[in-house]
Amino acid sequence: MAEEKRKKGFAESKRKFIVSLKKRPHNIPLCMMAIAFIVYSFNLTKISNTTAVINRPLMGLCEFVIMLFSILAFVAFLNAYPKRQKPILPMVILLYALEIIVAGADVLYLKRISEGLQSIQVNASRQFIPQAQSMLTVHIVLVVLSIVLIALIPVIGKALNKIDTSVAIAENEDVQIELVSDDEGEAARSGGKRQESEK
């Protein structure tokens, strides 16, 4: 019995989640953007240490641009897709521009790391450099996925709308409804009144 209730509770939670996504399908790319930002933020120390060791041109600027423009991309996204309104085209264009700049800064930073590794030896104390490389590669993939998902928001919305989220009423039960005609109902009412008057 408890297992059945747990399954029904899980199914209901899943249904409500899909219903909320139907109303706001752009939450999917927003989540991807959040994941990309978290991945970069949690590895910021490795990036800073890499910049300090390699110290090639524009590395510090790339680091700053990625962080700042990632935050601005969130602001642009929330303004581009207001609640229960059509997307605002200028903000959507700005959002694409910010995300492309972030991806470009990632690529440039990786290029600078590759150039620096030609003259710097990676030892046990500098393992953060290859780790920063791997993280930036993952970050680029996540940013590109975010851009693709933003472009596919209309398609995602249509796909979600095809999912049946209606609630089944009286499942596996025979519901019988007794209908009383107007004549029978009137007769019953008049009979009841007549009995009351006789009393």
Mean pLDDT of the residues in the chain: 82
Which pLDDT score, from 0 to 100, does residue 60 have?
92
Dist CA 53 CA 27 (whole Å):
39
Residues 150 and 36: beta-carbon distance below 8 Å: no
Domains in the chain: ranges and CATH: 2-161 (1.20.120)
Nearest to 107 by CA among 74, 59, 40: 59
pLDDT digits (tens, 9 = 90+) for 129-144: 999 999 999 999 999 9
Which pLDDT score, from 0 to 100, does residue 179 have?
44
pLDDT digits (tens, 9 = 90+) for 66-114: 999 999 999 999 999 887 788 899 999 999 999 999 999 999 999 999 9
Dist CA 16 CA 161 (whole Å):
13
Which pLDDT score, from 0 to 100, does residue 178 have?
43
Residues 95 and 73: beta-carbon distance below 8 Å: yes
Place of tokens 């209730």: 5
Dist CA 113 CA 156 (whole Å):
37
- The pLDDT-based confidence of 4 (bands split at 50, 70, 90) is low
Which pLDDT score, from 0 to 100, does residue 180 have?
45
Range from 12-16, 58-62, 107-111 carrying the lowest mean pLDDT: 12-16
